[in-house]
Chain A
């Protein structure tokens, strides 16, 4: 396997993505805005009225920080599956880029960084919304964007792994229904995992989103302890570990 070859040109490719994003960010932001707001309204306010406090919190306050984490995850996952695939397969953007000094590894790295950027952006927007709703109770929340940056890169790697393994636009549905939706439902966003059977809890420990939710909720509520440190270490370790595989997989798809 050829070793990974990344240069500062990654930033030029990332700049290209940001130029295009800056053109249509309003549409993009509105879309991603809408869904978490629906959850806050329907579940937080609607269902929340009938639900007992969770971990000593009104349901709305419990739910809101988790939606910051899931918004980040979904924004990145869409970008690094559908977005990447369209650029690679339909627009042939990658082929154009690698005809310049840019390497294929630069291109894929920039794709993942762009994915991570979306996590930070969309997660932070929802954070601002829940701040405006009075659901943020600690200045520790300032650390949420850096956490989202690491989490975003990890989500980008996972999505890119799928894109590299199953490069077919129809199969991205499976990714969302078989992987993303279960993560969304069983990572402690809607209810604490402590009430679930031991086995489910053990499995949930492997969910990256579970650790992101822990971190974001802890920071937003100011419940900071060594446990959060371990969540972050877990995320960081997996992010470092999962960086090379998608690069090798994607390289194989384009370079023949």
Chain B
């Protein structure tokens, strides 16, 4: 059994300031005069899983690079484990575990050696390093690969080994930059499972992701980042409730596409949550009127049932005030055909869309 009690926990009570594992104030990063991170503030508390959610180029990696003392801070204050990143990089780094976006395992070394050599950079005595390395390989289901070359591992195994490597020094904070990007769903779930177990053992986690499911499954709190700024901060569920509500109805009014044999498919099936339905109530009006006008008319008719809405391309996201079912029924009785009508639970992606007007994976 691995002792995952971190230094921060062992010292808890002695040093109150360390309840803030990371504290950023007006944190700014410029590359060649262009601002990648624009004066953001956040704090990460001990034992929580904190997420940076945002699309590529939002500034997530830049931010974690500053926290892991890799990139110098341009302006603002950044304290990690109670120390200034500019003044004590070595001390801070000795207590961090870093999982970079691209696996940078040592391809010239075998699996176990990767951990042992990495341990030597932390001045961990070899017998202790070996003990921990063996335990970590076991924890990440890699024991039977100990003597294998790193190139022979699958993507998921490499990822697990990279995470194992980050834990070799019993870190107080583990930083994971896009931990499951590029993994197949099964490998991804395996990584999530291990990260949840780390969390249960009280390891503070910081992760960046553009997968909503990942953020939703793992993060206690998160910030939504876009274009170098923090747009929102909070618990995933609370953010969804605050901005969207419980449910979303997606509706696409049918455009002019007469040849696809529109059928009446109203009734209960239209509510099924996964199939995009074609549900029309008035065949004759399918091609009638400009699209925008149709949307406005539609919104006017069901507006009393909505707490908000969002238009993305020709997709209409409707946020029901009370019940999604009620809104769906109301839409189905309208004399407007829909090429897509779907009632589903609200997610962080809706929050992101509402805040930025753009999707996460675009």
**Chain B 82-97: CB-based contact to A (< 8 A → 1; otherwise 0):** 0000000111011010
Distance of A16 Cα from B121 Cα, bound (Å): 10
User: B117, A100: Cβ atoms under 8 Å?
Assistant: no
Distance of A97 Cα from B102 Cα, bound (Å): 14
A237 at the interface (CB under 8 A from B): no
User: B72, A97: Cβ atoms under 8 Å?
Assistant: no
Known contacts being A16-B106, A96-B104, A97-B121, is A103 close to B90, with CB within 8 Å?
A: yes
Within 8 Å CB of A96, what residues of B? 100, 104-106, 118
Which B323-360 residues have a C-beta within 8 angstroms of A?
none
**Among A6-14, A60-68, A209-217, the stretch in contact with B:** A6-14
B123 at the interface (CB under 8 A from A): yes
Q: Which residue of chain B is the closest to A12 with respect to CB atoms?
A: B120
* Min C-beta distance of A115 to chain B, whole Å: 17
B184 at the interface (CB under 8 A from A): no
A101 at the interface (CB under 8 A from B): yes
Within 8 Å CB of B72, what residues of A? 255
A92, A98, A101: residue with the most chain B Cβ atoms closer than 10 Å = A101
B68 at the interface (CB under 8 A from A): yes
Within 8 Å CB of B57, what residues of A? none
A102 at the interface (CB under 8 A from B): yes
A93 at the interface (CB under 8 A from B): yes
B109 at the interface (CB under 8 A from A): yes
**Chain A 64-92: CB-based contact to B (< 8 A → 1; otherwise 0):** 00000000000000000000000000011
Which A82-123 residues have a C-beta within 8 angstroms of B?
91-93, 95-103
User: A13, B121: Cβ atoms under 8 Å?
Assistant: yes
A96, A97, A100, A101: residue with the most chain B Cβ atoms closer than 10 Å = A100
Say whether chain A's binding surface is mostly helix, strand, loop, or mixed.
Answer: helix
B269 at the interface (CB under 8 A from A): no
Within 8 Å CB of B123, what residues of A? 9, 12, 101
Distance of A212 Cα from B327 Cα, bound (Å): 87
User: B120, A95: Cβ atoms under 8 Å?
Assistant: no
Q: Which residue of chain B is the closest to A96 with respect to CB atoms?
A: B104
A19 at the interface (CB under 8 A from B): yes
A203 at the interface (CB under 8 A from B): no
User: A101, B102: Cβ atoms under 8 Å?
Assistant: no
Distance of A99 Cα from B169 Cα, bound (Å): 12
User: A100, B70: Cβ atoms under 8 Å?
Assistant: no
Pairs A-B, 10 closest by C-beta atoms: A92-B104, A100-B121, A99-B98, A96-B104, A20-B108, A101-B90, A101-B94, A12-B120, A102-B121, A101-B93
B interface residues (Cβ-Cβ under 8 A, vs A): 31, 68, 70-72, 89-91, 93-94, 96, 98, 100, 102, 104-109, 113, 117-118, 120-123, 169
